Amino acid sequence: MFYMKRQMTDFQNTSVRPSFHLLSQDQIEEFHRSTLELLEKAGIRVLHPEALDLLQKNGCTVKDGKMVFFPGWLVEECIRSAPSRITIYDRLGKEAMRLEGRNSYFGTGTDLISTVDQQTRRARPSCLQDVINAAWVADACPEIDFIASFGLPREVPINSMYLRNFKILIENSTKPIFFTAAGKEDLEYILDIAGIVAGGDDLLQEKPFLIHYSEPTPPRSQSIGAVNKLFICAQRLIPICYTPAAMLGGSAPVTLAGGIVQTNAEALSGLVIHQLKHKGAPIISGVAATPFDMRAATVTYGTPDQRLTNSAFSDLYHYYGLPMWSTAASDSHCLDEQAAMEYAFSTLMAALDGANLIHDIGYLGQGLLGDPAALVMADEIISYVRRIMCGFDMDREHRAMDVISKVESGGNYLAERHTLKHFREELWMPKLANRDNPEAWEAKGALHYSDRARQKTKEILASFKPKPLPHEVQLRIDEIFCQAESILKKIDFAA
């Protein structure tokens, strides 16, 4: 009888989409309660005098001059005040990313000290040209949504390094920029330059094309420098990605659950400071709880342990209704089978998590090594993953009831209008992955996937032409940069 009723009911659910959640609702709430308990009873060390005063005036208890104990009601109030949607634009003012819900966007990471040379295929210290090359390749890759420096140029004075990187990125790509800064001084100059490009600070606030990246200091500490940058971004309404990066077994407990609780407390304490400075200012949160390999004494990016903690954080921040950050990277030192495995798993898991801002694509060597060809490989992996995330439709048209009935037994569908109508949208087509038969593959040179990725990278670098800034804007940027460089070289950022 039940089966007959189902037959008679109109079929409505025609969209098939992948769905993944690591934590149950009860587990999410237990992690949240544990985080609040840690903030209330163990506290966070805050070294910034203005932040200490602000926290104390808003209900926190301060002991020994620096240890801050956060009441749970204040933490939850600040979670509610932070925006659940942050819209990011490109340099031209076109909407590029809507960070909310389970929307996922992928981009590069910052500050890699070494780069794989495309000619020698050997690692060497990163230079300015590597930042330019990464911007060109990322701009040319359609699945890469935002860019970052991807290199830390060794030939540039450290005080102006981050400013120089930002200038290079803005000159060589129109995509949104994810950037770092040494301190409040160069951050202010970077935002001044961004304001010129946007047409004014008010327009930059209205249509931000950049996201600042900064971190607290684990375990359980908010430094003066990090809070300075929190305050500047809050005051100027510039999106900031403020995410703890702890080592499991080093600067955080070795257990995954313990690392989740500690780093979530660090992230939420930063969010409270940020929201108390300017209620409703845009912030992207979440954390990295990264395993510390006790044998090699290295921080690892491509492990299943990190994928589990990232999935847990994604569930937590969906619960909070806040945009969250994640990663997709590899620990391999070259484009080998390990890199492909770790890129594929981390990219797929981050998308299944519904993480919003997924960075570090193309990272190699425990976050120390970059390779432009890795960006080309990652671009196709993202395309593959996005096809999975799109799922498929199963309405009557897509179930092909009429055309199945029409084609005779033993026939084929090649000439059917239904095939012509749907094959492009339904079937994923790679740009680099091999689809040739063995004989054709041999005839074309028997290239490995990494060979084709490097070949494509060299083609991009030989032919790419970035969209230039308007001449008058470029002149004003050059003027500010020259002024800033002369001032920044006199500042001791370590002080």
- What is the residue extent of each domain of the chain? 79-390
* Predicted TM-score (pTM) of this structure: 0.95
Which residues have C-beta within 8 Å of that of residue 202, sequence separation ≥ 6?
none
DSSP 3-state percent helix, strand, coil across the chain (nearest 5): 50, 15, 35
Report the C-alpha gap between 246 and 91 in whole angstroms. 33
DSSP 8-state symbol, 249: T
Burial class (CB in 10 A: 0-12, 13-18, 19+), 467: exposed
In tens digits, what is the pLDDT along the chain, a chain of 495 residues?
Answer: 434 444 445 557 789 999 899 999 999 999 999 999 999 999 999 999 999 999 999 999 999 999 999 999 999 999 999 999 999 999 999 999 999 999 999 999 999 999 999 999 999 999 999 999 999 999 999 999 999 999 999 999 989 999 999 999 999 999 999 999 999 999 999 999 999 999 999 999 999 999 999 999 999 999 999 999 999 999 999 999 999 999 999 999 999 999 999 999 999 999 999 999 999 999 999 888 889 888 888 889 999 999 999 999 999 999 999 999 999 999 999 999 999 999 999 999 999 999 999 999 999 999 999 999 999 999 999 999 999 999 999 999 999 999 999 999 999 999 999 999 999 999 999 999 999 999 999 999 999 999 999 999 999 999 999 999 999 999 999 999 999 999 998 888 765
Q: Closest Cα to residue 388, out of 351, 425, 443?
A: 351
Residue whose entry in the numeric block shows the structure tokens 């439709």: 393
Cα end-to-end distance, the chain, whole Å: 78
- Return the beta strands (E) in 117-186 as ranges: 123-125, 177-179
Helix axes 49-57, 224-236, angle to 10 degrees: 70
Given the candidates 1.10.1760.20, 3.20.20.480, 3.40.50.720, 3.40.50.300, the CATH classification of the domain at 79-390 is: 3.20.20.480
